[in-house]
């Protein structure tokens, strides 16, 4: 690596740290003003609020790191052009591709770092942050012990949902227990599957145990039985483990578990593919931002670079979000939903790099 290439890497890294801190600060500030009223209304300790917002930072970094990468590259080359450093490099015989190589190397490093960050750090902090928000602030009645193992307690009712696929009105391995004031079982429902219909859970092929006056229990099997728990799938889904609470390997195992139980795992398969695809946007945006900064067709310095970077990042987020939504709805295969935005912006990057002279 030449002196000028080391200079570019060092400068990009410095601008990346500054841009990342700025974007994270803005994101957290917006979220703070959106959620602080809920903490105050529930009279939650300020220490709990502080813990929640601190735990949100790793997830925010995971989401906005590509923006920081793009802004860092654009600002670096924008300032170099403003100070005539690019002109001096070209006069010394350095080609645009020679100046772009260290940026691509930085993009590869950022891609690997973002993947391992999302694998090792984000699942841990997101799980605790969601627990604080839903259970300690929102006071949800349902609690998730592991994966989709959900327990609900309401007065004399204790219910368990073994699995609850996201976006579906079905549940697996359902057990509903009614207890008297002495905590003795009065009635119990067990069903391998339940469907949410007309504001009630319809248990299919269920076994019903009922306590008789003499203290013994009768057992009968029913093809279907409706039970109103006052909880919809949307209520229960708030406590299921979200994809951002699991790493790539753990989510892979969970997808297989959902499929073995006979449920549609499309939503989780899309999220699984996205975990692998999203980090590569760092490399793609480095190529696109670097080629745009080296093209010499844009001036205006720092302000233009920042506005341009935000516009490109917003375009990627829109394209990626739309593609993921189509994948979760079944309109696109999971791999296509996760990689469509990358493919589009990679093509734009390739064209932009090819036009460098």
Using CA atoms, how far residue 308 sits from 21, 78, 270, 302, 350, in Å, is 19, 11, 29, 10, 18
* Per-residue pLDDT tens digits for 61-72: 999 999 999 999
Same-domain status, 300 and 224:
no
- pLDDT above 70 (res 249): yes
DSSP 3-state of 155: coil
User: Which of the residue ranges 169-183, 261-275, 339-353 would you say has the lowest mean pLDDT?
Assistant: 261-275
Q: How many CB atoms lie within 10 A of CB 307?
A: 12
d(CA 33, CA 230): 31
d(CA 111, CA 284): 9
- pLDDT above 50 (res 145): no
Same-domain status, 84 and 19:
yes
At 109 the pLDDT is 96
Q: What is the CA radius of gyration of the chain?
A: 26
User: Which of the residue ranges 31-35, 120-124, 186-190, 259-263 would you say has the lowest mean pLDDT?
Assistant: 259-263
Of 211, 237, 263, the residue that ends a domain is 237
- Band of pLDDT at residue 300, cut at 50, 70 and 90: low
Same-domain status, 29 and 127:
yes
Q: Determine, yes or no, domain membership for 222.
A: yes
Same-domain status, 258 and 292:
yes
Using CA atoms in the order 26, 28, 30, 34, what is the torsion angle rounded to 10 degrees? 180
3-12, 278-287, 288-297: which has the highest mean pLDDT?
A: 278-287
Helices (runs of H) and strands (runs of E) counted in the chain: 11, 7
User: What are the contacts of 9-15 at 24+ separation with CB within 8 A?
Assistant: 9/102, 9/103, 9/105, 9/106, 11/76, 11/80, 12/72, 12/73, 12/76, 12/102, 12/103, 12/106, 13/72, 13/106, 15/71, 15/72, 15/75, 15/76
Of 170, 204, 237, the residue that ends a domain is 237
Same-domain status, 262 and 301:
yes
- Band of pLDDT at residue 139, cut at 50, 70 and 90: low
At 287 the pLDDT is 93
Q: Determine, yes or no, domain membership for 243.
A: no
Mean pLDDT of 343-347: 95
Of 237, 268, 291, the residue that ends a domain is 237
Mean pLDDT of 131-151: 63
- pLDDT above 70 (res 141): no
Q: Determine, yes or no, domain membership for 245.
A: no
Same-domain status, 231 and 258:
no
Same-domain status, 124 and 214:
no
Q: Number of structural domains, the chain?
A: 2
Which residues form the domain of 159? 143-237
Q: Determine, yes or no, domain membership for 138.
A: no
Q: Is this structure's pTM higher than 0.95?
A: no
- Which is higher by pLDDT, 295 or 201? 201
Mean pLDDT of 32-47: 88
- pLDDT above 90 (res 173): no
Helices (H), 92-158: 96-120, 122-131
Same-domain status, 90 and 166:
no
Q: Which residues contact 287 (CB under 8 A, 6 or more apart)?
A: 100, 103, 104, 107, 346, 349, 350, 352, 353
């Amino acid at each position: 690596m030449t002196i000028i290439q080391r200079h570019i890497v060092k400068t990009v890294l410095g601008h990346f740290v500054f841009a990342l801190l700025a974007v994270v600060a803005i994101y957290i500030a917006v979220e703070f003003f959106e959620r602080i009223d809920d903490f105050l209304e529930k009279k939650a300790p300020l220490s709990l609020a502080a813990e929640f917002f601190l735990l949100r930072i790793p997830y925010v970094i995971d989401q906005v790191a590509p923006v920081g990468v793009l802004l860092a590259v654009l600002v670096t080359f924008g300032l170099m052009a403003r100070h005539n450093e690019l002109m001096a490099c070209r006069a010394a015989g350095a080609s645009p591709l020679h100046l772009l190589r260290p940026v691509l190397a930085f993009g590869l490093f950022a891609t690997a770092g973002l993947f391992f960050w999302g694998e090792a750090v984000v699942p841990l902090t997101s799980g605790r942050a969601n627990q604080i928000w839903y259970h300690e602030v929102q006071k949800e009645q349902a609690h998730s012990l592991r994966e989709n193992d959900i327990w609900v307690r309401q007065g004399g009712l204790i219910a368990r949902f073994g699995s609850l696929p996201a976006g579906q009105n079905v549940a697996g391995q359902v057990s509903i227990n009614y207890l008297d004031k002495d905590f003795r079982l009065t009635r119990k429902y067990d069903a391998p599957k339940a469907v949410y219909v007309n504001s009630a859970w319809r248990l299919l092929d269920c076994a019903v145990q009922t306590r008789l006056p003499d203290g013994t229990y009768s057992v009968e099997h029913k093809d279907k039985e409706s039970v109103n728990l006052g909880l919809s799938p949307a209520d229960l889904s708030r406590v299921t483990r979200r994809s951002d609470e699991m790493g790539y390997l753990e989510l892979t195992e969970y997808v297989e578990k959902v499929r073995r139980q006979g449920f549609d795992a499309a939503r989780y398969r899309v999220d699984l593919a996205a975990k692998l695809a999203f980090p590569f946007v760092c490399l793609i945006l480095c190529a696109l931002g670097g080629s745009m900064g080296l093209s010499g067709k844009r001036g205006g310095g720092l302000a233009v670079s920042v506005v341009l970077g935000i516009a490109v990042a917003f375009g990627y987020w829109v394209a990626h979000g739309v593609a993921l939504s189509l994948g979760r709805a079944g309109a696109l295969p999971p791999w296509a939903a996760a990689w469509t935005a990358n493919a589009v912006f990679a093509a734009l990057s390739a064209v932009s790099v090819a036009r460098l002279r």
